[in-house]
């Protein structure tokens, strides 16, 4: 029996990268996964991978989680499919990077919308169902960029949005206490995903400089983040609440 046996887990951004890894891991641990993504083809592929391994997943893609009605519909449809919500994993995001004084306001707003606002909208939609369930867990994906500046690429908008996610999580923890709802955030460092491939895999790029700044001397893999998330979502982690957990190979534990 897996650590998430029978739990209903809503995971956003399951069309690839860390979201796909989370869907696979959560399902392997016995969760019933309700996934969504803007990328319907990618999400269908994730669903096929999960089902091919004997897991349970239903894709509701495409869903634009920055649309309040669409976020609510995803949650309502997932509840209709699986009967409730035990875990909300707010993984989805779309970052905008570039020098802050060259980033136009629309790009800034897009980063805030697709990294912070969608966390609020999904959590607002799922909250009544977590309360009705008698408890559960909200896991939000932050970033080490919320805690420190990044020297290798301009991440002002990304860091600001993810800083908001981490702060929102701590306040959410307070609101969840009367309902036995936990709230935690995970702050990844450099993880190998399609989104980071242009930084990690580009010939002559900053990979070696990045690795030199990571005590573990490597970048992380999506399944490592997924394994942490599945533990935090489980009853094994009931005493972990309001925490922001870095998964970055030790990068934020040392002086810059």
3-class DSSP string for the chain: CCCCCCCEEEEECCCCHHHHHHHHHHHHCCCEEEEECCCHHHHHHHHHHHHHCCCEEEECCCCCCCCHHHHHHHHHHHHHHHCCCCEEEECCCCCCCCCCCCCCHHHHHHHHHHHHHHHHHHHHHHHHHHHHHCCEEEEEECCHHHCCCCCCCCCHHHHHHHHHHHHHHHHHHHHHHHHCEEEEEEEECCECCCCCHHHHCCCCCCHHHHHHCCCCCCCECHHHHHHHHHHHHCHHHCCCCCCEEEECCCHHHCCC
pLDDT over 70 for what percent of the chain?
A: 92
pLDDT at residue 145 tops 80: no
Give per-residue pLDDT as tens, 190-209: 888 887 777 777 776 677 77
pLDDT in tens, 37-82: 999 999 999 999 999 999 999 999 999 999 999 999 999 999 999 9
- pLDDT (tens digit, 9 = 90+) per residue, 109-133? 988 999 999 999 999 999 999 999 9
pTM: predicted TM-score of the whole model, two decimal places: 0.92
């Amino acid at each position: 029996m897996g650590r998430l046996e029978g739990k209903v887990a809503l995971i956003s951004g399951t069309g690839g990268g860390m979201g796909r890894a989370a869907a696979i891991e959560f399902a392997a641990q016995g969760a019933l996964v309700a996934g969504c993504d803007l990328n319907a083809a990618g999400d269908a592929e994730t669903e096929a991978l999960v089902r091919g391994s004997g897991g349970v997943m239903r894709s509701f893609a495409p869903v634009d989680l920055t649309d309040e009605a669409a976020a609510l519909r995803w949650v309502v449809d997932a509840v209709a499919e699986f009967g409730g919500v035990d875990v909300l994993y707010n993984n989805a995001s779309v970052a905008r990077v570039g020098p802050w004084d060259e980033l136009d306001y629309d790009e800034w707003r897009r980063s805030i919308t697709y990294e912070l606002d969608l966390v609020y909208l999904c959590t607002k939609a799922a909250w009544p169902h977590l309360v009705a369930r008698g408890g559960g867990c909200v896991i939000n994906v932050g970033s080490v960029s919320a805690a420190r500046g990044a020297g290798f690429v301009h991440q002002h908008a990304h860091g600001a949005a993810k800083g908001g996610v981490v702060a929102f999580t701590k306040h959410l923890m307070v609101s969840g206490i009367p309902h036995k709802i936990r709230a935690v955030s995970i702050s990844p460092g450099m993880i190998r995903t399609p989104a980071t491939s242009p930084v990690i895999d580009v010939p002559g790029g900053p990979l070696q400089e990045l690795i030199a700044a990571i005590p573990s001397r490597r970048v992380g893999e999506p399944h490592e983040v997924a394994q942490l998330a599945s533990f935090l979502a489980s009853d094994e982690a009931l005493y972990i609440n309001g925490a922001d957990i870095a998964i970055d190979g030790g990068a934020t534990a040392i002086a810059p």
